[in-house]
Every structure is written in structure tokens, then in C-alpha cells.
Amino acid sequence: MAVEQGPFPSFLVYGPSGTGLHTALKAFRQLYFMTVAGVSPDSLERILSVSESENQPLAISPALDPYEVSPGEAATLFTALSQNHPNLKRLYLSCPTEVLIQRYAAAEKQHPYDKTGIRDVIEREQSLYKALKSFSDYHIDTSTTNNRELELKIAKILNLDLGVEPMSVTLTSFGFKNGVPTDAEMIFDMRFLPNPFYEESLRPQTGLDQPVIDYIFQFPETHEFMKHWQNLLAQTLPLYQRQGKTRINIGVGCTGGQHRSVALTMALSNFLKTTFPNFNIRTIHREQNHWPQQASTVKERLR
């Protein structure tokens, strides 16, 4: 969606390599900014001065080699920039070390400053930029932010409305004994409910089978929880969307991921589909391959 150009300030966009600096600069460029990436410390002052003299909004990212620039030197540089350019805004992008390592491994890319190994260089950059966090006017953690969400967050910083993006919500039932989904923003534990596993007739069935559903929902605490759960998500999901999130992963767990988590996941899915008809609601039962063969209708009912 096109937006009207406004009297934007210039932005210094900084953070460790792999946090989304190029994506952020691309977003600024689409919003009428001139962008310059990988600027050496001794060139920052000159480029910012030229941009100001031409009244051209600029988004610029510095190139700070963690083997050559100490945190103290970087802080001195940022102090000088803040004093000489009082209208300059600073956007800090961050991401946990382990996520950055995974990103470089997945992309099979060489880190621009790698001299002694990927972990060492990332940890050095983390130390360098954490010393500069206090200079930031805005901070975005990009560990769970995709490219479009980053663009929307930057537009929000600039008070621009790019329109509401469709929200995708993935509901994943799982068993705690097999570990928690690592990509879930929210985790809900259903182990406080009575367990159908201890009912011999229900043990081979799943939360997709009506006898199991009837058993779980015969208890008042199930209905009371569902009421609070639905109210919580009815309130928070639109707020996530307003903040620029386009996808939310919700994990729903019980001991084995066969009975309680499955039944509650399906109940929540039905509620969300009715409440948010424009959302894309997807349901995954992670432990399905471990369910007993007696539940012969499972695959058909998941279609």
C-alpha cells in the first residue's frame, strides 16, 4: 500500500549481523528513505551531514568490526553522533545468539567478520551492540519477526498505516513428554484437567473421538477454563495484529498429546474460526503418528 511521504527524521539502524539490518533498510527504502548500508565509522558523520543539508530522510547502518572496534569506542562514536545530530533517531535490532547461529547455518552464509569461528564473532558483536543499546530510541527483537512484520513495525514507528495484514494462527497439540514446541509464542498446559488415559475404554481413543470429548467437557472446570481462555485470545490476538504480527503459534499440551490437548485444541479452533472469520486458523496434532491404531477414523476426521 502506498503511503504519503512525510517529514521523516533520519535513522541510524544498528545491531549484530543477521538481525535483519538489510530487511530493515529495504523497509525504509520502500517508505521513501534513502538508505546506505555498511558505512565505516569515519564516514557516518559526513553522510549524515550531507543528508541533513539536502533535507533527505536517511536510514543508515554502520559497519562495526567487533575485532577492531571496542564497545567503549563505539559508545564514544554514538555519543558524538547524538550530539552533532539531535534529530537523528536510532533503531536497535537484536536477536539471541543461538538464533543468529541457526540463521547463518540455515542460510549457509559467511559472517562478514568471521575470523575465529561463528560463535566467537557473534558473541563479540553481541557484546559490542549491547553496549550501544542505551542509545536506542526504538528496539525490535527480530527473533520471531518475519520480513513483513519487521516492515510493519518500522511503519508503526513512523506513524504510518500500511493496513491490517491477515493473521495466521497455528494451534499445535503436543505431549510434554516429547518436549515443548520451540516456535510457539504461547504455551497452554491442559494437565490440570482429569486424564481420560486412566479410563480403560477411552485410553485407545483420542481427543477427536466424541466419548473423549464428552468425558473432558463433563467437568465444570473445563467450561470455566474455556471461557477465560477464549476471552484472553479474543482480546490479545487483535492486539498482536495491531503491533504488526502476521502469525501466531499456540501450543496446547498435555502429558502424551492424545486426549486433553487434542480436544481442547479443536474446541479453541472452532471458537477462533467463528470469532475471527478473516483469520487463517490451522490445526496440527504433533503426536498423531504416535496415536494407537484403534483410532481408525483419525486421518479422515483431520481432513
Phi first, then psi: give them for residue 91, nearest 5 degrees.
Answer: -110, 120
Residues 6+ apart with CB under 8 A from 261: 173, 174, 175, 190, 207, 252, 253, 254
Task: Name all domains of the chain by residue range, CATH numbers in brackets.
Answer: 11-157 (3.40.50.300), 168-302 (no CATH)
Q: Are residues 178 and 257 in contact, defined by beta-carbon separation less than 8 angstroms? A: yes
Query: Of the spans 5-19, 58-72, 106-120, which averages the highest pLDDT?
Result: 58-72
Q: Which helix (H) or strand (E) holds 237?
A: helix 220-242
Report the C-alpha gap between 245 and 216 in whole angstroms.
33
Per-residue pLDDT reduced to its tens digit, 155-214: 889 888 766 667 899 999 999 999 999 889 999 999 999 999 999 999 999 999 999 999
Residue 161: how many other CB atoms lie within 10 Å: 11
* Residue 299 pLDDT grade (very low, low, confident, very high; cuts 50, 70, 90): very low
pLDDT tens profile 220-277: 999 999 999 999 999 999 988 877 788 899 999 999 999 999 999 999 999 999 999 9
